[in-house]
């Protein structure tokens, strides 16, 4: 699902003639064995997102699309700076236990994610890939405890994770709120505008807050029951979204992530602490 250039024509598009497509050596889905066997990859990147409703104007695959676009562009920048990154195919299903009453929301429990991640890590460790970054694109996913459990079992591979939504402060770019609002809509207007419905069709993204003070202040936590919290499945008004804001944030975000990938890839497993 990775994209052409930064956010150009999607390779899954049936309208794109095969002869116009170009392969990228940092995208596993586009790479042949001839390239793989000659490349000493330093870091594998595993995008992991979710399939869920995003108001009336964004597709169910918004998290998946953005995770894949952002990971692919970050990998491209890092590759061009000399880091040998390999972008694995994105995993589409995330933790959505609070949205199971919304039709076609597909949930993958954390215990299932742990089993999938274990198999991926075991495969890469056996093949001598020294580092793996789990590239999270969904707030309901949390891979930190899984990595704590897996790291001592697979000491030959260094495990880390990031959530792209936590990499760069969105406040200078977007109106606040966290689901199908200004941020996600602007990014998708930049990356895949053909998949965004007219903003006049979008709901206002109004939402309720916990009545329990500690939960509302977020120093205590509980999952949200989505259809009780939202009116249109969105949290945040998308009316301020623009492709220009999405492009500016996308460029700054992917550059910062690429800096991390370059730095990580350059380190040996014995050179991670000082």
Q: Give the model confidence (pLDDT) of 72-91 as tens digits.
A: 999 999 999 999 999 999 99
Show me where the domains of the chain are located.
24-266
- Please tell me the total number of residues recorded for the chain in this structure: 274
- The confidence score (pLDDT) of residue 14 equals 44
pLDDT tier, 204 (very low <50, low <70, confident <90, very high otherwise) = very high
CATH architecture of 24-266: 3-Layer(aba) Sandwich (3.40)
Closest CA to 57 of 246, 238, 250, 242: 238
Rounded CA separation 68/161 (Å) = 15
Please check the confidence at residue 69 and state whether its pLDDT lies above 70: yes
pTM value is 0.91
The predicted-structure confidence for 142-195, as pLDDT tens digits, reads as follows: 999 999 999 999 999 999 999 999 999 999 999 887 799 999 999 999 999 999
């Amino acid at each position: 699902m990775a994209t052409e250039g930064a956010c150009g024509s999607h390779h899954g598009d049936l309208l794109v003639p095969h002869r116009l497509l170009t392969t990228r050596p940092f995208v596993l889905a586009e790479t042949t064995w001839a390239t793989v066997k000659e490349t000493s990859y330093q870091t594998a990147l595993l995008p992991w997102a979710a399939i869920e409703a995003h108001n009336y104007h964004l597709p169910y695959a918004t998290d998946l699309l953005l995770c894949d676009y952002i990971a692919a562009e970050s990998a491209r920048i890092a590759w061009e700076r000399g880091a040998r990154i390999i972008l694995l195919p994105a995993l589409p299903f995330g933790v959505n236990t609070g949205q199971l009453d919304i039709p076609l929301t597909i949930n993958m429990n954390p215990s299932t994610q742990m089993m999938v991640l274990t198999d991926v890590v075991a495969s890469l460790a056996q093949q001598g890939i020294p580092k793996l970054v789990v590239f999270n694109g969904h707030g309901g996913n949390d891979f930190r405890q899984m990595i704590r459990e897996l790291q001592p079992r697979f000491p030959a591979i260094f495990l880390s994770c990031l959530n792209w939504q936590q990499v760069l402060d969105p406040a200078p770019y977007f109106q606040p709120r966290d689901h199908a609002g200004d941020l996600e809509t602007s990014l998708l207007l930049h990356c895949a505008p053909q998949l965004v419905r007219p903003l006049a069709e979008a709901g206002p993204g109004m939402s309720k807050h916990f009545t329990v003070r500690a939960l509302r202040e977020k120093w205590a936590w509980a999952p949200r029951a989505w259809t009780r919290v939202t009116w249109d499945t969105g949290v945040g008004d998308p009316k301020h979204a623009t492709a220009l804001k999405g492009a500016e944030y996308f460029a700054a975000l992917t550059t910062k992530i690429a800096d991390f990938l370059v730095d990580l890839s350059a380190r040996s497993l014995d050179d991670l602490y000082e």
